[in-house]
Structures are given as structure tokens and as C-alpha cells.
Amino acid sequence: MDKIRIVGGAPLNGTIPISGAKNAALPLMIAGLLTDETLTLENLPRLRDVQLLFQILSNHGVDHAIQGKRNGQDDMTGQTVDLSARAIVDTTAPYELVSKMRASFWVIGPLLARMGEARVSLPGGCAIGTRPVDFFISGLKQLGAEIDIEGGYAVARAPKGLAGGRVTFPKVSVGATHTVMMAATLAKGDTVIENAAREPEIADLARCLTAMGARIEGAGTSEIHISGVPRLSGARHRVLPDRIETGTYAMAVAMAGGDVTLDGASADLLDAVLDVLRGAGAEIDVLNHGIRVRRNGHGIDPVEVTTAPFPGFPTDLQAQLMALMTKAKGVSHITETIFENRFMHVQELARFGADIRLDGETATITGVERLKGAPVMATDLRASVSLVIAGLAAEGETTVNRVYHLDRGFERLEDKLSRCGAEIERLSA
């Protein structure tokens, strides 16, 4: 199993290209199930989760073809992929595939809408909370689906097709919003989704679906209106830049020091994050082609942050911010409100010498002058990259184990950081 070795202390200087957003790419790929024509996705990141979803979609009969590189492109540039679901050959998503990635459960919406049936294993994924699929199931039921849980599978039927309806989520859910929105595009009549997620990835999916012929209004707000259409066509769509990757590298620069341009980043996707980083002492400049992040000489200031659904501070950057705050000049507080079990990185950060105390959903971080490199173990996708951030500023050598978590969501992380001066390398087992 691969490891990542880091020798801390080097500032970061240069340019880091920002990849297409994983959290947008996955639902966009699943949307290909809604049409028998070709959906072309540009700027698709090269990630383990993307490769796994190719396998899952192939099980349903979706063909994919990766287009060749254009002049000036390299492995840091997103790939262009054609997806074709001309014929759905199987409406079952088996446990052995779905259990590896939670987002694959979302195929239940398009399969049900297009084929009138779906049998999808209840999901697995990284252990950062229960994250039940109740909202998915209740939402689809409000569109007329009959859904039973049989042997660990959600068995959904709508033999006469889905019908528009009013879907109200008791709590904001990005995955459920994605799923119900996709299903409603082919439902008969109008659908209103209330208390919808507002994340940029929701609006990105809506733009793609609209290009395919869907009729959607209000995506990006808490109320989405969808008028069903008989069929969707193919389209070409570019995946938006990854705001979580952007925030992660911005925090890495704030931690290690230096001057880095995050090429292709979009500042308006993470206003709350950039405000927090400015409060921590980083200099942030918004450019036409990205974001410039600097921290030269000035120390890190403590912050008070509570995670929240968009446009608040994202839970997917909570671990990275905590790593940054371990060297702040004072006491910081981070409150996690989205997932009940997302502080598993705390014990690993403590191995660097970090001073972190947990009280329920709030972590109190007292900054220390020095972190010392240590062998550490990744516990989930975002926690794993927080250990990399700590390692960049720690004295001596750090080894991050179980880096397959990193490969799920960060494209060529060690290459991007080493190009900017970090002493970091992947060690193959």
C-alpha cells in the first residue's frame, strides 16, 4: 500500500493547477444515465472515485471514451470524456460496487426516471457519520415511486413513470438534492424541491441538465422548480473547478509559507473560506485566471469557525483548517455541525504535537510553536490531506499511510506540491 513521505520546512512557491471538482463530476457522470445520446464532460479529474464510477456505470451499460490530449495539455489538465448510455442493460447496482463509494447510490434517481425501476445497494463509503439515505427514498416516493428495502437493497419501482410533486427535505442534503433533481427532469408534470442544497455543484449539475433539455429554475437557491420533459438529449459540459482542492492548497500555503497562484480556481465558489484565511493572516488576491495566496513572515492568527451548508464554511475543509490552526498564535475553535463523526483526524494531528481538545461538536486548538514529523494514518478523504498540511510545516520527516483515501479526491497531490518546492514523494509498497 502506497505511502507519502514529507520532509517539512520548505515554503511553497509557484503555480498549482486546480482540477475539476470531484463533487460535481460524480453527479454529472451519473446524469449520463438520463439520455440515450452522448454526454461529453470536459475538465473531468483523474481520481480513484471517477474510475470507480466508470466501472459502476459500465455495469448499467454506459460506455465511456476518453478523448486524446490537445496541444499544451499534460497530466495536470482535466480529461474530456464521452459517456453513452444508449441502452441500459441492468438496473441493479450491486453491493460490491456501491459499497466502495456512497455517491454511486445516486444512480437510483436516473435509473428510476428512465427505466421505471432500480435495485440499488445501500451505500458504504468513508466512516464520517451515518449519512442515511432516508431523504433520497422519501424524496423519490414523493415523486410517485414505490420503494422497499429488501436484503440490503433499495428496490424502487415506478412502472408508469414518475410524477411531479412537492419534495421537502427536513435537513439540507446535497446527495438527495442531486438525486431528486435528476429524477424529476423526466417526471410527468412539475416538481418543487424545498430546502434544497445550495452548493455550487448543484447549480453545475442543473446547467448540464439544462443543456440536455431539462427545464430547471432556482438551482443554487433553497427552492428548485423542475418541469419534466419526455426525454433528454446529449450535451457538452465543462466541470467547474474544485473549491475543496482550492481551499486545501490555499491552507497549505498559509501553513508552509510562500507565494502560490492557484490556476483556474474560482474565488466566488469559496468566499467564506477566503474570508477565514484572510482572518488567519494569509494574503489573498483574486486574479482573472485564479487566486494568489501568500504568507511571508507573518504568523498564523487564530480563528473561530462553524461548518455549515453552502454558502457557509464547508465541512470538507474543516480538517485542513484544523491542521493550519495547530500553529496559530493563540486559541482557535472549530465547531462541526454537518457530520457527527468528523474529528477522527484529531488523534493523528496530536502525533505531530498538536494541542487539541474536543468537547462534543467543538474542537479547541491551542497553537504550538513547533510541530514534529511523525508516522500518521489517514482515516478518510479530507482528514488525510490535513495530515499532509501538518507535515509540510513539521520539523523532520512525516509518513502518511493509507493514502488511497487521498487518491479518491486529490489529483496528483504530491506532484502539484513538489512543483512548488515541497519535499514530498509517494513511496510504493
According to the annotation, is 403 in a ligand binding site? no
According to the annotation, is 173 in a ligand binding site? yes
Q: Based on C-alpha coordinates, what's the Rg of the chain?
A: 22
The whole-angstrom separation of Cα 213 and Cα 208 is 9
Retrieve residue 110's grid coordinates: 436516473
H helix or E strand, kind and range, residue 398:
strand 397-401
Closest CA to 250 of 220, 280, 226, 222: 280
Burial zone of 89 (CB within 10 Å; 0-12 exposed, 13-18 middle, 19+ buried): exposed
Closest CA to 410 of 290, 319, 291, 292: 319
Is 208 part of the annotated catalytic residue set?
no
Torsion on CA atoms 253, 258, 261, 265, rounded to nearest 10: 10
According to the annotation, is 171 in a ligand binding site? yes
10, 21, 126, 406: the active-site residue = 126
The whole-angstrom separation of Cα 352 and Cα 312 is 29
The strand pairing partners of 263, in sequence order, are: 17, 290
CA neighbours closer than 13 Å in the CB half-sphere of residue 310:
21
DSSP per-residue string spanning 223-274: EEEEE--S----EEEEPPB-HHHHHHHHHHHHHH-EEEEEET--GGG-HHHH
Length of the chain: 429
According to the annotation, is 174 in a ligand binding site? yes
Three-class secondary structure of residue 415 per DSSP: helix
According to the annotation, is 89 in a ligand binding site? no
According to the annotation, is 338 in a ligand binding site? yes
- Alpha-carbon separation of residue 33 from 37, 293, 400 (angstroms): 9, 39, 37
Residue with cell 475543509: 317
According to the annotation, is 128 in a ligand binding site? no
Catalytic residues: 126
Q: Annotated binding site, which residues?
A: 22-23, 102, 171-174, 316, 338
Binding residues for phosphoenolpyruvate: 22-23
